[in-house]
Each structure stands twice: as structure tokens, then as C-alpha cells.
């Protein structure tokens, strides 16, 4: 009869822990790697329509209260463009507030790489001074642009924005009807996403974070 | 600070009165977005509950915060956003039901704002209903 040499367990409980961790740690790592890979492989769900392929955003120059501004001034950064008017009490300020909250939720470095441009579709009432004060109420970094009726008209056409003066009341004067989408241009200068009205700030922020990655 | 307190208590009292149950028309969560004085117009939103067995209509609104207040609806037509006064019948609050005035839809349009709307401020808004008569509410200025 051979005596099987059972080594004396130094500490039975610590041995069991050692065995368990030898088994569990690789499992845990494998799980994490799998989860990370899975997350990476999931396509990002954008909050608006994605423009497929390359669609170079045409450059333009309009006036702000701090001088002329061109889209190309912000080359290399994400640019969000919104066409609206300061007389608008409901839809425009909501979109600007949501965009401001989205940018605000980014790190300071990331926020530096995002510029919002508000283009008035009501140049008769929106002077450069009025626009500047209006947009900076939402975010100090926002830029508000105006121009002649012709200049605004041609920029709006370039970006597929429709607008017209509609009837208002005696108290409001005319009210504008307009395409109320938020256009997002990527760092390479291509129109990337068209975000419809009503998308909340965290969804906008998630798009920006994805594009900044 | 004291002023804020007084306003808060006034607002609480009004909310308590409005939520006291049994009122024909109850108005909750009246609010407006902060906006600078350079923005000519603003909007107030709220949830209106009709506790009666017959439909009522919100037919007019006024506020010291606005030179004129109108009842408006924002709406999307073929992807184009517009806004217009509601018809002469006003805004219907169906029997034993509620109507919500909200962003991108029905709102009290505050034309020619008489003050800057700063977060934390409250403004009184007087609502006129066809059946229930006058209801005063306090609208709070806040972000969304
Ligand atoms: Cu309106």
C-alpha cells in the first residue's frame, strides 16, 4: 500500500480562495473584454438622420455683433447650425437651451471643439446686436449671425432650410414658419446629422461624444 | 432673499389652493423658460385638469409679465415648424380630463415681455375659462 502524500494544507480556507480566484479572475477579465468589444461593435444610434457618404458643408460668411463670421473659421471643430429667430418664444429657445445643455455636459476640452451658430431667418427684426445678446444668454460661446435678406436666403437654400413669414396677430406681427432642425457638421467639414426638433439634450450630447471620440 | 421667501410662500399657498381638491379647474406645474430681455416674447406651459362632467375651454390669458398674452399652438407641417393663435373656441379641457400646454405644442404666448425671465422668478398668470371663470396661477421660470 502506497501512502499517498497529501501535502499539509497551510491554511485550508486561503487555499480555497486561491483556487477560486484562479478560476474567477480570468472569467471576470474575459467577461469585461467581451462586454467592451460588444459595446464597441454596437453602432452608435444617432438622434437624427445621418447623412451617408461625404457631403461637404458649403462655406458662408455672415455678420455677428463682433464682426463677420465664416463657417470655415471653425474648421476642425464640430459645428451645429440652427436657423431660427429671436421673436420665437417656444421652439427656438428650447432647441438652443438643449444644445447648450448638451455642450455643457461635455468636458471642457471637448466643449472647446464644438461651436453653435444661430442664423436668423428674420433679418428684418434681428439685428446683429440683438442676436449676439440673445444667443449668449444660452451659452457665452454661441454665435448669432444675420445678413441681408438675400444673404440669409442663399445660406438657407444651401442647407435645405425652408422659411417664410406667416400671418400673426396684431400683437405679434408676422410670425416665421421655418425648418426647425439642428444641423451637425463634423470635424472634417461634412454635414453629418440632421437632428429634428424635440430631441433632448442627453441624446444630442451622446452624438457629440461619439463624434469627438 | 426675503422677497424670494414671500414669493415661495405665495406660490405654495396657490398650489395648495389649486390642489386642495374639488376645484372645477386645477392648474399644475405652470412654468416658463428663462429668457433675456432682448427676447421680445416668451411662453408659459402648464397642465390643466377639468374635474367637472362637462368640457370647459380656456379662452383667454393675461399676465403683468406680458403686454399681451395669447393662446397659441406650435405645430409641424411637412417638417416646417409654425405657430398660430388657437381658434376662437380657445383650448378645450375635456370633461374629467386634462390638457397639457407644452413645448412644441399649446402655450400661453407672452408677447412683448415686460421683464427679463430669470430662473427662480415667478409671474402671475390669469386664465379665463368659459365655465370655471377666472383662475390665477403662478408660473415659475425654470429650465425645462
Ligand atoms: Cu406662440
Residue listed under C-alpha cell 410662500:
B9
Nearest to A183 by CA among A78, A72, A68: A78
Residue A162 domain-assigned (yes or no): yes
Each residue's pLDDT tens digit, A18-77:
666 666 777 777 766 666 666 556 788 999 999 988 899 999 999 999 999 999 999 999
Domain ranges across chain B: 23-141
Per-state percent for chain A, helix, strand, coil, to nearest 5: 40, 25, 35
Give start and end residues of each alpha helix (H) in chain A.
12-41, 91-104, 108-112, 128-138, 149-158, 201-212
Asked if residue B45 has pLDDT above 60, the reply is: yes
Report the separation in Å between the CA atom of A174 and the middle of ligand 1, taken as the mean of its atom positions.
11
Residue A13 domain-assigned (yes or no): no
- pLDDT for the residue numbered B20: 47
Residue A86 domain-assigned (yes or no): yes
Please report, for the domain that includes residue A152, its CATH number.
3.40.30.10
Residue A41 domain-assigned (yes or no): no
Residue A27 domain-assigned (yes or no): no
CA dihedral of residues B60, B66, B67, B73 (deg, nearest 10): -50
Q: Among all residues of chain B, which has the CA nearest to that of A173?
A: B111
Q: How many secondary structure helices (H) and strands (E) does chain B include?
A: 1, 10
Task: List the domain range (segments joined by +) for residue A194.
Answer: 49-211
Superfamily of domain covering B23-141? PCu(A)C copper chaperone (2.60.40.1890)
Yes or no, beta carbons of B39 and A86 under 8 Å apart: yes
Report the separation in Å between the CA atom of A161 and the middle of ligand 1, taken as the mean of its atom positions.
21
State the total domains in chain A. Answer: 1
Closest Cβ–Cβ partner in B40, B80, B143 for A87 = B40
Nearest to A202 by CA among A117, A127, A98: A98
**Complex confidence, ipTM:** 0.82
Contact assessment for residue A9 and residue A154, using Cβ atoms and an 8 Å cutoff: no
Angle between helices A91-104 and A201-212 (to 10 degrees): 50
Each residue's pLDDT tens digit, A122-167:
999 999 999 999 999 999 999 999 999 999 999 999 999 999 999 8
Report the separation in Å between the CA atom of A187 and the middle of ligand 1, taken as the mean of its atom positions.
36
Each residue's pLDDT tens digit, B47-105:
999 999 999 999 999 999 999 999 999 999 888 999 999 999 999 999 999 999 999 99
Each residue's pLDDT tens digit, A86-126:
999 999 999 999 999 999 999 999 999 999 999 999 999 99
Each residue's pLDDT tens digit, A167-186:
889 999 999 999 999 999 99
Q: What is the pTM of this model?
A: 0.82
Amino acid at each position: 500500500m502506497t501512502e499517498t502524500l497529501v501535502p499539509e494544507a497551510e491554511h485550508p480556507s486561503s487555499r480555497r480562495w486561491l483556487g477560486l480566484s484562479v478560476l474567477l479572475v480570468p472569467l471576470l477579465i474575459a467577461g469585461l473584454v467581451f462586454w467592451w468589444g460588444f459595446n464597441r461593435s454596437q453602432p452608435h444610434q444617432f438622434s437624427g438622420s445621418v447623412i451617408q457618404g461625404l457631403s461637404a458643408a458649403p462655406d458662408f460668411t455672415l455678420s455677428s455683433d463682433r464682426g463677420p463670421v465664416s463657417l470655415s473659421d471653425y474648421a476642425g471643430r464640430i459645428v451645429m447650425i440652427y436657423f431660427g429667430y429671436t421673436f420665437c418664444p417656444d421652439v427656438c429657445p428650447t432647441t438652443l437651451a438643449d444644445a447648450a445643455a448638451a455642450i455643457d455636459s461635455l468636458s471642457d476640452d471637448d466643449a472647446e471643439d464644438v461651436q453653435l451658430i444661430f442664423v436668423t431667418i428674420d433679418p428684418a427684426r434681428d439685428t446683429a446686436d440683438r442676436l449676439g445678446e440673445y444667443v449668449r444668454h444660452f451659452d457665452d460661446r454661441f454665435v448669432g449671425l444675420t445678413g441681408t435678406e438675400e444673404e440669409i436666403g442663399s445660406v438657407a437654400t444651401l442647407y435645405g432650410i425652408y422659411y417664410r413669414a406667416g400671418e400673426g396677430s396684431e400683437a405679434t406681427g408676422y410670425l416665421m414658419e421655418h425648418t426647425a432642425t439642428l444641423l451637425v457638421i463634423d470635424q472634417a467639414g461634412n454635414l453629418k446629422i440632421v437632428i429634428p426638433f424635440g430631441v433632448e439634450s442627453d441624446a444630442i450630447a451622446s452624438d457629440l461624444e461619439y463624434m469627438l471620440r | 432673499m426675503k422677497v424670494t421667501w414671500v414669493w415661495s410662500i405665495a406660490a405654495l399657498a396657490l398650489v395648495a389652493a389649486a390642489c386642495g381638491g374639488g376645484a372645477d379647474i386645477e392648474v399644475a406645474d405652470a412654468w416658463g423658460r428663462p429668457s433675456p430681455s432682448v427676447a421680445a416674447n416668451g411662453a408659459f406651459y402648464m397642465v390643466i385638469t377639468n374635474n367637472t362632467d362637462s368640457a370647459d375651454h380656456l379662452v383667454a390669458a393675461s399676465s403683468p409679465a406680458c403686454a399681451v398674452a395669447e393662446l397659441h399652438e406650435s405645430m409641424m407641417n411637412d417638417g416646417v415648424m409654425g405657430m398660430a393663435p388657437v381658434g376662437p373656441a380657445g383650448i378645450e379641457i375635456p370633461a374629467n380630463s386634462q390638457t397639457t400646454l407644452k413645448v412644441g405644442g399649446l402655450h400661453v404666448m407672452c408677447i412683448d415681455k415686460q421683464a427679463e425671465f430669470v430662473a427662480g422668478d415667478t409671474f402671475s398668470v390669469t386664465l379665463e375659462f368659459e365655465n370655471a371663470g377666472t383662475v390665477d396661477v403662478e408660473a415659475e421660470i425654470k429650465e425645462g
